[in-house]
Chains A and B, each alone.
Chain A
Amino acid sequence: MCRVLLLLLLTNGLTSSLHAQATIEGRVQLPAPSANFGFNQRYAATADVASPAVNPPAAIVYLEGNFGPLPKLTAPAVMAQENQTFTPDLLAIPVGGAVIFPNRDDMYHNVFSYSKAKRFDLGRYRKEEKPKPVVFDKPGAVTIHCEIHEAMRGTVLVLATPHFVKTGSDGRYRLENLPTGRYLLKAWVDGNDIREHWVELKSGQTLQVDFPGTR
């Protein structure tokens, strides 16, 4: 009988936890990808000069609120330097997460940031060298630069919430297992373009929230 009760409780808890979940999905209108490679286009035609890749545009949609302890990342996130670009150029990690910056190109790269959230400088290193992972313990946007290549730009968004997702290249996102309540839903497109939307979450509900472009 106790087992049955326990089972019931458990299922109740499960079901209640199941019932307490809301979903938000939608679409963020993303700006068109920049065509400026920061690289002289004239030389892009020659085969031996590698042209830098262009990352597809994306945004990070996250729910701002006090959600308790953040989960720990099992493995450090990766922001690689590949084809003279940071790949991915937008990375969202929870506070306390670590990121490694491997160099996958044949040339020297340098990773540094002057951002207030994290100031670091990994110096110049080649492919073989494995730099130490960098732990980001303050929330905020950290702009990653490469000293040698002026066009290389990456952002690590350190978030104090576990509920975040990166949109697809089309701008669609889906946040699941969200607690009920009233929270502020934010979409981070870039440092100057952070869109907000208050949401009222009810259990079992799927909200449709779109973030149209401001410009």
Chain B
Amino acid sequence: MMLVVFAVTAATVYFAEENRSSNQQRLLDAQFANRVRPFLATQEARARAIKGKCWTLAQAVRLRAALEERDPEDLYQNARAELSELLDGSRANGDDASGVRASFYCFFDAKGAILLPENKESELTNPNFPSHDLQALERASRGTTDQSVCYLALARSDRPVALREVIVTRVRDWNRKNLGSLAVGFAMGELQLSGADRESGLRSGFWLNRRFYTDELPGSDRRLVAEKILLALNRQTSAPFRIDLTTGPHLVFFQALDPEMKVTPAYQVCLYPLAASLREERALRWKIIGFGLVVLLAGFAVSLFFARGLSKPVEKIVAGSKENLTRRVQAEENLREKNEELKKALEELKATQQQVIQQERLSAVGQMASGIAHDFNNTLMPILGFTELLLENDNLLSDREEARRCLEMLRTSAKDAASVVARLREFYRPAISEEAFPMVDLAKIVRQAVALTEPKWRSQSQARGVTFEVVAEIAETPFVAGEEAALREVLTNLIFNAVDAMPEGGRITLQTTIEGENAVVRVVDTGTGMSEIVRQRCLEPFFSTKGENGTGLGLSMVHGIVERHHGRLQIHSEQGRGTAFTISLPLASEASEMVPAGAPNNDFSSAGLRVLVVDDEAPVLDVLARYLRCDGHAVATAASGREALEKFRRNPFDLVLVDRAMPEMSGDQTAKSIREVKRDVPIVMVTGFSSFDKASPPEAIDEVLYKPITLDALRGTIGRLLHAA
């Protein structure tokens, strides 16, 4: 606050002084202008009068003629006649403009040289100029176009300096040819100063040709003033300036007498003493400073008084703001924490999402796997079933016909199981959409299905003591393009479902008909039936009414297979009455190839071969050996690649069957080694994988057989190879 007061005081002092000085300046300016104006006006009027007279004279023919002839006598005679008024000054009166009196006159010739009369009659005509003044005049006369003004200070020995204003008029003839010039000089008046002005020390003078002419001023001061004015003129300013003379500080005002005059400029100068005003200024300054101090002290006191009153609320405000600040900081902290938490949660969520997706994928796989497992179990059932039957029932064994039938069933089931496994291919190979389905006999499939499922319903009926009746009504024998195993599976599934739907026993009817262009198979049971909701959802995977016992996959598989066969599945059900599943499949067109599935390949004519069979799994080895021995071949077995090589080296063989996946030495390596021993022996690879292309078997191998191998396949391969050989 002190600083504020200081600043304010300083500013006040400064502005006050500025104001004062500028005011004073303006006042003085005005005063100066006022004084100078009348003087200038008078001077101007005089000059005008003389100019007029000179101009008239310059037009006179005689004067011109005389000047041309450079005849001073005539010249001055003529001039006198014209300028009589001016020269006599009969009506001379200092203040009257019209009565201005010329102090001298003279002529200059065309080259600018002065022409003086021969008889120097009067002083008027012989001003006896000192040389520099004369030069100035001559210069002026040369520089004049028509009329011009110049100022001279004529110094005389006995009299003070006389200041003269000189009018120079050019004399031309009617052709504007320069004849010479006329110079008339008259005295410059004095500035009128009132008594009051004089008392206050105001002084006036003239500045002419770098000199300052005034009275009652010591020479040094005059010189100083003259210099300063010259400086100001050089800088081309006309503002008044301050100067320190012996008599004290003064303010110098000056004004040009004739602003257009450049040759010998003259200025009216006024000196204004500043001493008094400076004193006043100082007094004012002290007053202001004193006032400032008083204000400062007062302010001090006031501030002390108020400080107590004001400081408390201020402190409160400050404290409050601090609180706010801490609260804000806390809030920010909280926000940041929450942010962190949210981020973590988001990450967890994302992780969980990934897991769920993964699980979903797995579940899809699982779904598929469980489907396959389910089907596999279904096919295993008849295999196990018939095997048990044969083992348990000696009667069945001894009955060749029956036993044979059972064994055929076994074979069928085993093939079905193989086809189920083949479907696993879908996992690692894209499904080949358009497979040419072979022609199958639906009626035969129905019969087979019935036979296959017989153990189930038979054992079930025995266990529960209920009776099942399975009737196959084969009206026609439609042929459809389809997969035998898949269709069998469909019917098997439906029959099992029907059995499960009749806990008290009942009747299952299988019908095959041809309706229009479709082959229709109907499975009807007299079971519990399904409610509407169950009927709508029964085809959903994992939907089961059997609780823990059911996988819920049966009907979804049925549906899938029917779709694959471009067929349609219809379900009719009535609760308490029974259910009917209707499958319509498009009839096989006659143009399609009749490739009866499972036709045995009997044309081969090779027998009595020496065959080497290599497999690390004993059962497979056993089966293969028995197959071949059945056909009349001499079979040697080896359980590993090394054993096979040893045996091959020692004995000749016509054919080698080698398993792919064997420890120590793989099937490929074995085959290669055998080839090295004997180049042209046919080698067949037997493999459980179907991972490589059927089109490109490995180098040493001639053909590939995929497990499970049927006898037909084996025979076919052997036949092909040996025929080729």
Number of residue pairs A-B, CB distance < 8 angstroms:
36
**Interface residue A214 (Cβ < 8 Å from any Cβ of B):** no
- The CA-CA distance from A143 to B59 in the complex, in Å, is 18
- Grouping DSSP codes into helix (H, G, I), strand (E, B) and loop, the B interface class, with mixed when no group exceeds half, is helix
Q: Is the CB of A145 within 8 A of B175?
A: no
Q: Is the CB of B175 within 8 A of A143?
A: no
Quick one: which of A34, A147, A149, A151 contacts B62, CB cutoff 8 A? A147
Q: Is the CB of A38 within 8 A of B175?
A: yes
Q: Given A146-B61, A150-B61, are A114 and B175 also a contact pair (CB < 8 Å)? A: no
> 23 A-B residue contacts at CB 8 Å?
A34-B175, A36-B175, A112-B62, A112-B65, A114-B62, A114-B66, A114-B68, A114-B69, A114-B74, A115-B69, A119-B74, A143-B65, A143-B68, A143-B69, A145-B62, A145-B65, A146-B61, A147-B62, A148-B61, A150-B59, A150-B61, A150-B173, A150-B174
**Interface residue A130 (Cβ < 8 Å from any Cβ of B):** no
**Interface residue B473 (Cβ < 8 Å from any Cβ of A):** no
**Interface residue A116 (Cβ < 8 Å from any Cβ of B):** yes
Q: Give residues in A with beta carbon < 8 Å to B.
A: 34, 36, 38, 112-116, 119, 143, 145-151
**Interface residue B64 (Cβ < 8 Å from any Cβ of A):** yes
**Contact flags B183-206 to A (C-beta < 8 A → 1, else 0):** 000000000000000000000000
- The CA-CA distance from A19 to B71 in the complex, in Å, is 47
**Contact flags B67-85 to A (C-beta < 8 A → 1, else 0):** 0110100100000000000
Q: Given A114-B66, A143-B65, are A151 and B174 also a contact pair (CB < 8 Å)? A: yes
- The CA-CA distance from A42 to B61 in the complex, in Å, is 22
What are the residues of chain A within 8 A of B65 when measuring CB–CB? 112-114, 143, 145
Which residue of A has the minimal Cβ distance to B68?
A: A143
Nearest-Cβ distance from residue B378 to partner chain A, whole angstroms: 143
> What total of chain B residues lie within 8 Å of the partner, measured CB to CB?
13
Q: Is the CB of B61 within 8 A of A147?
A: yes
- The CA-CA distance from A136 to B232 in the complex, in Å, is 64
What are the residues of chain A within 8 A of B74 when measuring CB–CB? 114, 119
What are the residues of chain A within 8 A of B66 when measuring CB–CB? 114
- The CA-CA distance from A112 to B61 in the complex, in Å, is 10
Nearest-Cβ distance from residue B74 to partner chain A, whole angstroms: 5
Q: Give residues in B with beta carbon < 8 Å to A.
A: 59, 61-62, 64-66, 68-69, 71, 74, 173-175
Q: Is the CB of A116 within 8 A of B71?
A: yes
What are the residues of chain B within 8 A of A148 when measuring CB–CB? 61
Q: Is the CB of B69 within 8 A of A36?
A: no
Interchain residue pairs A-B with the least CB separation, the first 6: A38-B174, A114-B69, A145-B65, A150-B174, A150-B61, A114-B74
Q: Is the CB of A36 within 8 A of B61?
A: no
- The CA-CA distance from A149 to B61 in the complex, in Å, is 8
What are the residues of chain B within 8 A of A145 when measuring CB–CB? 61-62, 65
Nearest-Cβ distance from residue A122 to partner chain B, whole angstroms: 13
Nearest-Cβ distance from residue B61 to partner chain A, whole angstroms: 5
Given contacts A114-B65, A145-B65, 16 further A-B contacts (CB under 8 A): A112-B62, A112-B65, A114-B62, A114-B71, A114-B74, A115-B69, A143-B68, A143-B69, A146-B61, A147-B62, A148-B61, A149-B61, A150-B61, A150-B64, A150-B173, A151-B174
Q: Is the CB of B69 within 8 A of A116?
A: yes
What are the residues of chain B within 8 A of A34 when measuring CB–CB? 175
Nearest-Cβ distance from residue B80 to partner chain A, whole angstroms: 15
- The CA-CA distance from A113 to B62 in the complex, in Å, is 9
Nearest-Cβ distance from residue B282 to partner chain A, whole angstroms: 71
- The CA-CA distance from A34 to B64 in the complex, in Å, is 19
- The CA-CA distance from A38 to B61 in the complex, in Å, is 13
What are the residues of chain A within 8 A of B59 when measuring CB–CB? 150
Most buried by B among A145, A148, A149: A145
Nearest-Cβ distance from residue A124 to partner chain B, whole angstroms: 12
Which residue of B has the minimal Cβ distance to A34?
A: B175
Which residue of B has the minimal Cβ distance to A115?
A: B69
What are the residues of chain A within 8 A of B175 when measuring CB–CB? 34, 36, 38
Nearest-Cβ distance from residue B290 to partner chain A, whole angstroms: 80
What are the residues of chain B within 8 A of A143 when measuring CB–CB? 65, 68-69
What are the residues of chain B within 8 A of A36 when measuring CB–CB? 174-175
Most buried by A among B64, B68, B71, B174: B174
- The CA-CA distance from A36 to B172 in the complex, in Å, is 14
What are the residues of chain A within 8 A of B71 when measuring CB–CB? 114, 116
Which residue of B has the minimal Cβ distance to A36?
A: B175
Which residue of A has the minimal Cβ distance to B66?
A: A114
- The CA-CA distance from A119 to B174 in the complex, in Å, is 22
- The CA-CA distance from A145 to B59 in the complex, in Å, is 14
Nearest-Cβ distance from residue A132 to partner chain B, whole angstroms: 21
Which residue of B has the minimal Cβ distance to A38?
A: B174
- The CA-CA distance from A143 to B173 in the complex, in Å, is 14
What are the residues of chain B within 8 A of A149 when measuring CB–CB? 61
Which residue of A has the minimal Cβ distance to B67?
A: A114
What are the residues of chain A within 8 A of B62 when measuring CB–CB? 112, 114, 145, 147
What are the residues of chain B within 8 A of A146 when measuring CB–CB? 61
Most buried by A among B59, B61, B68: B61
What are the residues of chain A within 8 A of B68 when measuring CB–CB? 114, 143
- The CA-CA distance from A116 to B59 in the complex, in Å, is 22
Which residue of B has the minimal Cβ distance to A142?
A: B69
- The CA-CA distance from A114 to B68 in the complex, in Å, is 9
Nearest-Cβ distance from residue B180 to partner chain A, whole angstroms: 14
Which residue of A has the minimal Cβ distance to B74?
A: A114
Nearest-Cβ distance from residue A84 to partner chain B, whole angstroms: 12
- The CA-CA distance from A34 to B176 in the complex, in Å, is 12
What are the residues of chain A within 8 A of B173 when measuring CB–CB? 150
- The CA-CA distance from A148 to B62 in the complex, in Å, is 9
What are the residues of chain B within 8 A of A116 when measuring CB–CB? 69, 71
Nearest-Cβ distance from residue B73 to partner chain A, whole angstroms: 9
- The CA-CA distance from A112 to B59 in the complex, in Å, is 17
- The CA-CA distance from A138 to B65 in the complex, in Å, is 19
- The CA-CA distance from A38 to B71 in the complex, in Å, is 24
What are the residues of chain B within 8 A of A150 when measuring CB–CB? 59, 61, 64, 173-174
- The CA-CA distance from A113 to B71 in the complex, in Å, is 11
- The CA-CA distance from A215 to B69 in the complex, in Å, is 23
